[in-house]
Every structure is written in C-alpha cells, then in structure tokens.
Amino acid sequence: MRDNQDSIVITNVTKSFKKTSRKNEYTTVKSELVRLLTFKRRLIEPATHITALRGVDLRVPKGSTIGIVGRNGSGKSTLLKLLTGIYAPTTGTIQVKGRISALLELGAGFHPDFTGRENILINGIILGMGRAELKARMPEIIEFAELGDFIDEPVRTYSSGMFMRLAFAVATHVDPDVLIIDEILSVGDEHFNRKSMAKMNEFRRSGRTIVLVTHDLSTVERWCDAAAWIDGGRIRMHGPSKDVVREYRRAVAAAEAEALKTGHSALDQPGLALPATAPVAEEKAPLGSVHAVRVRDGKGETPVAFGADASLFVDFDWSFSEPVKAKFNVDLMSSDGRLVFSTGFDGGQRSGSGTSTLELSRVGLGGGVYELLVSAAGNGETIKNPFRHALHVAPSDGVGLVRPELRWSVK
C-alpha cells in the first residue's frame, strides 16, 4: 500500500566544485623533461569554486513520478548524482528512503572486461541484493535485456544499444524503491523503447518513486505527476508537470527570441539563467484554434517512427469562431526546446471549420523525439496555445540534428 511519506527530501542543498588553474602549463614531452631536469615548479593559481547547485529544497512523495527539466548545464545531472550518492552535498542534507537504482551515463557501473552475466551479479550485490535472490532473477534479467549469447561476452564488445538494454534490465529488476533515470530511454530502437516504457508504467502502478531527467517535454507532461525546473543551479519552479513545462517553454521561447536579436543564445551559456517571463494576463478567447493533428507517410500510414528519408504529411483540423483572414503555422521543436524550423501559410478568408495539410517531401532529421506545434490564427492575432503533437524519428547513421541529402565524390 502506498502511504503519504516522502521518498526523497532535499533540504537547502548546495554543491560546489573546486577548480585549480596552473600557470605555465607544459604541453610537450620535451618541455616537461626540461622542467623536471631544471627543478622548476609549476605555478598554481588560487583555487576557484564553481557552484552547480545552490539552496535547493525539494520533496518527492512516495509513489510519484517527477520530471526534472532545464537547459544543459543547469544542474540536473549534478542533482541526480547527489541523489545516488556519487557526490556529497557541500551544504544541506539529502534523505532517500529505500533502495535506489539509477540509469545515469551509458554503461556507468559496468566493468568492461567482465561479462554481462558477471556485471549483473556485481551490480545486484552493490544494490543490496543477496546472491540467492540474484540467481533467481538472473533468467528474467537476461531475457529482458535480449542479449542472447552475448550475455557471456565482455561488455566492452557491446554496442551502445546492448549496453543500454543490460543497464535498464538490471536497474529495473533489482526491486528498487526509487528509480532515477537520466535520458537513458532515448537510446535504443523503437521496440525496446516501447518495452522499457511498459516496464516503467508497471513501476508506477506498483507505487515506486521515479525521478526522470529528460529534454522530452511531451513525455514529462504526459507521464510525470510533477516537475521541477532547474535554472542556474536553483529550482525556479516546482509543481504540476503541465504548469512547469508551460512556463519553461515560455522562457525558452523568450531566450530564443533574444538570441535572434543579439546572435548569442542564453541557452548555450553555462551558469546563465533564462530570462524571467511576465505573468500572463487573462485574455479573450482566440478566434482560431487547432483541435486535431495527424501525421502520415506517403502511403497514408502512421509508422511508430519516421525514417529520415520518408515523406511526411501533417493534417490538422481547425476552426474559426467568426469570418477571419486566416494564418496557419507549424513549428518543429527539438526535445530540448529548440526551434528546428517554422513555416506559415496565409489561408485567405476563412470561417467555420476545415482541414489543412503540410507536406514535407523528406523528413531529413536525426533520430529522436520532436514536437510539432500547429496553430490557426485570425486577423493577425498572436498565437497563444498551439496544438502539440509528438513526432518520432527513427535512429540512423551519423550524428547531428539534420540528415540532408549528401553526395560524395573523389577526383
């Protein structure tokens, strides 16, 4: 039975790191030998301190799922490492009740020269399980990881996907009370993503506590009971997930608008907080709205994930409360809230309801989860609440956000 206790209590936690800088660094073997032979000492500058988190207070009720959002460098991963005991707080206290299991950096906690089976035993023992219990659960863990004969091979021979499957299988089968995840679910094929999400839902139903750090804001809205937004090392907002995500999106949009003016994005500057957003006053209902979005490929089908080379059609149903000069707009956002592209279309005089379609001859995106923001506005009104729809793109070769059509030649 679930109770009303808090699984996690963080009280006034600050975490600082010491950074020392050396003057007259020797960057070659020859210069280093000269320094040693002449008995010259390195000149050390006074140590400086970098504060990653400052004055953080947070309570996570037992059995709840909380999403941690914020730009890169805001302190999210530092918080998770404090929760798991990798770091100790500089000041303040952290209480975590029950057994903790964590999925942080890919492959963290696995010895590369040990087999998958040996790593399961080692990690299980570290997490507090007995040998008899581990041996009883071993077949279930191996089956879930889908590694086949590779379970008895050194994990240094594993691909990133195999690493992830093993790490997830171990973390979720050691009976944790608190599960901590740092973006690990974004690695892997669609089949295992579905399987892992089903396992996570099983965790939620059983009353476990889950802490999830992710840039996939749609997942936070749909899946988390609450969210905490970390900005500049502080908790800027904590509350219902939809409220927190809405305010975070507004701040990101404001930062990107400023970047267009200055050429310097606040999102790329570590330690710099996002600008404050003004409270939204109550306004009259918009003239136009979008109430349904469907995505399909050239065959009229909706795959689980679109390939980079697939064509994409976005159909959306709209309505206007009175005759207007219509404007339709579609924005595509990356999982960390960045604008990938924006396109608009003048729809002429419109009234009532209808359907419009945007066609992309080629998706051209790297693998991951994106978000379509589709809107209909009338008579030049400002868009307030676009319809949001997740777009899944299958992983492909290469890195980066886009997959342009390329041709190589050698002469």
pLDDT digits (tens, 9 = 90+) for 27-51: 555 565 666 666 566 555 566 778 9
If asked whether residues 90 and 204 sit together in one domain, one would say: yes
**CATH number of the domain encompassing residue 329:** 2.70.50.60
For position 1, what pLDDT does the model report? 38
If asked whether residues 182 and 80 sit together in one domain, one would say: yes
For position 355, what pLDDT does the model report? 94
If asked whether residues 198 and 301 sit together in one domain, one would say: no
**Confidence class of residue 210 from pLDDT cuts 50, 70 and 90?**
very high
Average pLDDT score, the chain: 81
If asked whether residues 199 and 344 sit together in one domain, one would say: no
If asked whether residues 295 and 183 sit together in one domain, one would say: no
If asked whether residues 238 and 361 sit together in one domain, one would say: no
pLDDT digits (tens, 9 = 90+) for 330-361: 999 887 677 888 999 998 999 999 999 999 99
| Pairwise pLDDT comparison (243 vs 193), residue with the higher score | 243
Q: Is residue 313 part of a domain?
A: yes
Query: Is pLDDT of 309 > 60?
Result: yes
If asked whether residues 238 and 292 sit together in one domain, one would say: no
Query: Is pLDDT of 172 > 60?
Result: yes
If asked whether residues 87 and 193 sit together in one domain, one would say: yes
Q: Is residue 228 part of a domain?
A: yes
**CATH number of the domain encompassing residue 218:** 3.40.50.300
If asked whether residues 74 and 215 sit together in one domain, one would say: yes
pLDDT digits (tens, 9 = 90+) for 222-251: 889 999 999 989 999 999 998 998 888 888
Number of domains forming the structure of the chain: 2
Place of tokens 């924006």: 342
| Pairwise pLDDT comparison (9 vs 162), residue with the higher score | 9
pLDDT digits (tens, 9 = 90+) for 59-109: 999 999 999 999 888 899 899 999 988 899 999 999 999 888 888 765 567
For position 261, what pLDDT does the model report? 61
- Domain span holding position 320: 288-393
If asked whether residues 87 and 182 sit together in one domain, one would say: yes
For a pLDDT cut of 90, what percent of the chain falls above it? 32
Q: Is residue 53 part of a domain?
A: yes
Given strand 6-19, what is the order of strands in its sheet? 48-61, 6-19, 91-96
Q: What is the pTM of this model?
A: 0.61
Q: Is residue 162 part of a domain?
A: no
If asked whether residues 205 and 308 sit together in one domain, one would say: no
Q: Is residue 381 part of a domain?
A: yes
If asked whether residues 78 and 195 sit together in one domain, one would say: yes
Q: Is residue 260 part of a domain?
A: no
Q: Is residue 253 part of a domain?
A: no
CB atoms within 10 A of CB 209: 26
Q: Is residue 269 part of a domain?
A: no
